């Protein structure tokens, strides 16, 4: 206050050109601006802290790298339920290069075995990647066509009164907590599908994939519906006016015009499926194995973090590997979001501008 009024009193010319300086206004703006910056800070902090905990893996690697090449693959199948203390001990042994033989943690990262709790822990992420890919593919193949078709019906064919009902009902699905969908998959879907397909393991990537698809449906549906409605009315009217049927208009005029928006919707749905943890934990069976059969149990990247982080020793290699998986998940969803946000949005804008 004092500073402001002082300035004003000094010269009249300044007051003439400048707004009167008010401390409370200046202060409020500064506070609001700095708080708003917090969301940027949080994203950066997440980046930094998830990576920080993953980083020691690569440092530890250098220490052990020399010895690891000499190591013959030990039999590590023995005690797969070994306690975490054992792992911690083993880790100490590793970095001292003296006691228990074992591979350096990061040299096993691309191997085919995920067996973090054993005498010779192996952190092969290949089965986890494959499992995630399998589940994601199944979920996407289920959710994307279903939600896009439903969105086409809602925006193109449904009468306005019916549309008012369909939209909120389908968006209701977004209000289901993922643990509820996971529970439904675990208790109901798994048994129903087992009766139909007669597979051996009750929980598998198919059940998990369908359940995760359910979680992605409201996202893909809502965004696709938005994209379809955003197509200028003139397009539809021109097409109908030329004698095309509603179906032809929907599939040959409106749908092509909305393609970038639908892509963005699918990409965001993909992000949701990819990072989904609770459904994966509850419905996929959580067995890290390499198989292309959709009816085998799988373990996804996010489920691995969720299942193992609670039992892990703080600062242990296993702990670091789980954070490494987290970093990969983060980078991937970040990239997907950026893609949807910048690439597809620009495509939409360009498309309509060029047609004007």
Given a contact cutoff of 8 angstroms between Cβ atoms, the answer to whether 154 and 225 are in contact is yes
Query: Of the candidates 147, 205, 236, 297, which one interacts with another protein according to CB under 8 A?
Result: 147
Q: Judged by CB under 8 A, which stretch of 65-73, 130-138, 234-242, 267-275 contacts another protein?
A: 267-275
CB of 119 to another protein, least distance (A): 25
> How far, in whole angstroms, is CA 255 from its chain's centroid?
26
Q: Which stretch binds another protein (CB under 8 A): 4-12, 112-120, 222-230, 309-317?
A: 309-317
Closest CA to 230 of 322, 352, 70: 352
The two tokens of residue 262 are: 């639908």
Residue 124 or 271 with smaller CB distance to another protein:
271
Residue 37 in contact with another protein, rule: CB under 8 A: yes
Residue 194 binds another protein, judged by CB under 8 A: no
Report the alpha-carbon distance of residue 317 to residue 43 in Å, rounded: 25
Exposure of 319 by Cβ count < 10 A (0-12 exposed, 13-18 middle, 19+ buried)?
buried
- Dist. CA 2–CA 24, nearest whole Å: 12
Q: Does position 179 bind another protein by CB under 8 A?
A: yes
CA-wise closest residue to 211 among 149, 263, 148, 136 = 136
30 touches another protein by CB under 8 A: no
CA 182 to chain centre: 16
State yes or no: residue 214 binds another protein (CB under 8 A).
Answer: yes
Q: How far is the CB of 242 from another protein (least distance, A)?
A: 14
Query: Considering the rule CB under 8 A, would residue 223 count as an interface residue with another protein?
Result: no
Task: Count H helices and E strands in the chain, helices first.
Answer: 17, 2
The residue range among 67-75, 222-230, 233-241, 244-252 that interacts with another protein, by the rule CB under 8 A, is 244-252
Report the nearest approach of another protein to the CB of residue 290 (Å).
23
**φ and ψ of 123, to 5 deg:** -115, 50
Element (H, E) at 192: helix 190-197
Site string for another protein, 101-140 (x = CB under 8 A): ----------------------------------------
Stretch that binds another protein, among 123-131, 228-236, 334-342, 347-355 (CB under 8 A): 334-342
Which pair of tokens denotes residue 141? 């193949």
Greatest CA separation for the chain: 89
Q: Work out whether 172 is an interface residue with another protein (CB under 8 A).
A: yes
Binding of another protein by 4 (CB under 8 A): no
Q: Which of 13, 169, 196, 292 binds another protein (CB under 8 A)?
A: 169
CA 296 to each of CA 143, 189, 276: distance values in angstroms, whole numbers, following the listed order: 20, 15, 19
**How near is the Cβ of 214 to another protein at its closest, in Å?**
6
Tell me how far, at minimum, the Cβ of 155 lies from another protein, in Å: 10
Cα dist. 11→4, 8, 15, 24, 317 in Å?
A: 12, 6, 7, 22, 67
Stretch that binds another protein, among 5-13, 78-86, 154-162, 226-234 (CB under 8 A): 154-162
Question: Based on CB atoms, which residue is closest to another protein, 76 or 183?
Answer: 183
What is the footprint of another protein within residues 276-295 (CB under 8 A)? 276-278, 281-282
231 binds another protein (CB under 8 A): no
206 lines the binding site for another protein (CB under 8 A): no
């Amino acid at each position: 206050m004092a500073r402001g009024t002082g300035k004003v009193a000094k010269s009249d010319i300044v007051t003439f050109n400048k707004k009167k300086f008010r401390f409370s206004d200046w202060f409020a703006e500064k506070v609001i601006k700095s708080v708003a910056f917090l969301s940027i800070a949080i994203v950066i902090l997440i980046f930094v802290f998830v990576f920080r905990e993953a980083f020691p893996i690569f440092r530890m690697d250098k220490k052990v790298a020399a010895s690891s090449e000499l190591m013959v693959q030990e039999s590590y199948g023995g005690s797969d339920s070994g306690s975490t203390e054992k792992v911690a001990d083993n880790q100490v042994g590793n970095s001292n290069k003296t006691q228990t033989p074992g591979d350096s943690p990061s040299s096993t990262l691309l191997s085919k075995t995920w067996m973090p709790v054993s005498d010779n822990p192996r952190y092969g992420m290949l089965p986890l990647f494959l499992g995630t890919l399998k589940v994601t593919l199944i979920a996407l193949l289920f959710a994307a066509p279903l939600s896009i078709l439903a969105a086409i019906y809602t925006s193109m064919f449904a009468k306005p009164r019916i549309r008012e009902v369909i939209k909120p009902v389908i968006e209701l699905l977004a209000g289901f907590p993922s643990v509820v969908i996971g529970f439904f998959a675990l208790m109901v879907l798994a048994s129903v599908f087992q009766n139909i397909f007669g597979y051996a393991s009750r929980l598998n990537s198919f059940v998990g994939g369908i359940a995760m698809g359910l979680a992605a449906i409201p996202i893909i549906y809502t965004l696709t519906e938005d994209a379809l409605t955003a197509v200028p009315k003139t397009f539809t009217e021109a097409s109908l006016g030329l004698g095309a049927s509603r179906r032809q208009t929907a599939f040959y005029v409106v749908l092509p015009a909305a393609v970038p928006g639908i892509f963005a919707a699918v990409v965001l749905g993909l992000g949701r499926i990819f990072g989904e943890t609770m459904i994966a934990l509850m419905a996929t069976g959580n067995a890290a194995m390499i198989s292309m059969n959709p009816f085998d149990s799988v373990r996804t990247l996010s489920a691995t973090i969720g299942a193992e982080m609670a039992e892990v020793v703080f600062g242990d290699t296993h702990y670091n590997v789980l954070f490494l998986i987290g970093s990969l998940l983060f980078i991937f969803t970040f990239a997907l979001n950026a893609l949807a946000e910048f690439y597809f949005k620009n495509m939409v804008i360009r498309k309509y501008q060029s047609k004007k």
